[in-house]
Chains A and B, each alone.
Chain A
Amino acid sequence: MKEKYKSSKWQEVINWAQKRSLFMLHYCTGCGAIELPPTMTSRYDMSRFGIGPAATPRQADILLITGYLSTKTLRRVVYTYEQMQDPKFVMGFGSCTINGGMYWDSYNTIKQLDKYLPVDLYIAGCMPRPEAILEGFLDLKEKIENGEAKGYKKYKEEYEYYKTNQKKVLGEVKRRQ
């Protein structure tokens, strides 16, 4: 999009439309994934708020990191995130993504998700109940409408910073011959 359209009335219309059609990538990493089925299905029913599950990263808008990330999973999450199309939003779910949670001294899990991916919103708790997830989604929608959820732009601008941090814990890919 051209620069002159940014933060214009037209952008407001786009934001308004975007917040009403969000697709969440169903990619589950930790134990928090168990809270998603009730959130998606009839008990809590997140489609009331215009949020639906998506099967592939290319069709998704929200990447929900549900719990701890081992370094090996982080590599896959980064691949997944980079496949998603703009605009894309990352939500950190549970205390593991915030400060390591109960895995705070584990040699194999990352401690702060926002060092590796641009997190737009954290949901605290170990683990958050579906109500908290829905509250988080509503907050995210508000942020999108106000134009505050700019994580994907930040990722492009500070690409070096994120890549340095990622390489520090992952190292280079070694392929099997």
Chain B
Amino acid sequence: MKTENEVIKLIKEKLNPLEVNKLRAQNLAVKLENEELVSSLNYLKSKGYSHLATISCVDWIEDNEFELVYHLFSYEDKINISVKTRIDRKKSKFVTIKNLWAVAQYYERDIHDFFGVEFEGNDDMEELILENWNDTPPMRKDFKTRDYVNEKFEWREYHGQK
């Protein structure tokens, strides 16, 4: 069982991170270049971080970037690591990690639903949660939910007022 500081030291030695932070007890955040990500995840998996809890995505619209966050957990160290990488928002393309964790296929499908990010190598990109969606992906910051609702649904009128 390793402590947070030992894990930080290990990451700094073995990987090539842009930034490593201890967020709070049992929670670390690692920022990585795009190219480094898959090999780093592979390394962390071999060191006991075998549980991929989820993959999340953050829309940094002002930086014109999406941030993909891979949440790993180790049952030995009892530590969460959030492995982050930023991709270009316009291209919105990244590589799949379904070869490392089969479950990633579904997380990637989910992100494709809500952010429109493509994952190369994962060709099962059918809609997972949404149905018949043909607008901007709804969790993108530039999706105008009010306009969409105005167009698709009708407001109830109260005494002639909407």
Measuring CB to CB, which residues of chain A are less than 8 angstroms from any residue of chain B? 71-72, 75, 98-100, 104-108, 110-112, 115, 168-172, 174, 176
Let me know if B155 and A107 touch, CB within 8 A: no
Instruction: Report Cα–Cα, A25/B130, bound state, in Å.
Output: 26
Let me know if A174 and B146 touch, CB within 8 A: no
Decide yes or no whether B126 CB sits under 8 A from chain A.
yes
Let me know if B149 and A106 touch, CB within 8 A: yes
Interface of A (DSSP majority class): loop
Distance of B96 from chain A, by nearest CB (Å): 20
Let me know if A111 and B155 touch, CB within 8 A: yes
Instruction: Report Cα–Cα, A169/B153, bound state, in Å.
Output: 8
Let me know if A172 and B149 touch, CB within 8 A: no
Contacts of B130 in A (CB 8 A): 72, 108
A to B contact number (C-beta, < 8 Å): 44
A sample of 25 cross-chain residue pairs with beta-carbon separation below 8 angstroms, ordered by A number, consists of A72-B129, A72-B130, A75-B131, A99-B156, A104-B149, A105-B146, A105-B149, A106-B145, A107-B148, A107-B152, A108-B138, A110-B153, A111-B149, A111-B153, A111-B154, A111-B155, A111-B156, A112-B153, A112-B156, A115-B154, A168-B152, A169-B153, A170-B131, A170-B132, A174-B131
Instruction: Report Cα–Cα, A155/B122, bound state, in Å.
Output: 44
Instruction: Report Cα–Cα, A152/B26, bound state, in Å.
Output: 58
Instruction: Report Cα–Cα, A72/B132, bound state, in Å.
Output: 10
Instruction: Report Cα–Cα, A98/B156, bound state, in Å.
Output: 8
Distance of B81 from chain A, by nearest CB (Å): 32
Contacts of A104 in B (CB 8 A): 149
Q: Which residue of B lies closest to A114 (CB)?
A: B156
Q: Which residue of B lies closest to A115 (CB)?
A: B154
Distance of B139 from chain A, by nearest CB (Å): 10
Distance of A107 from chain B, by nearest CB (Å): 5
Query: Which 7 pairs show the lowest CB-CB distances between chains A and B?
Result: A171-B132, A99-B156, A111-B153, A107-B145, A107-B148, A72-B131, A107-B138
Let me know if A174 and B156 touch, CB within 8 A: no
Let me know if B145 and A176 touch, CB within 8 A: no
Give me 10 other A-B pairs in contact (C-beta within 8 A), A108-B130, A115-B154 excluded: A72-B129, A99-B155, A105-B146, A107-B138, A107-B143, A107-B148, A108-B138, A111-B149, A111-B155, A168-B152
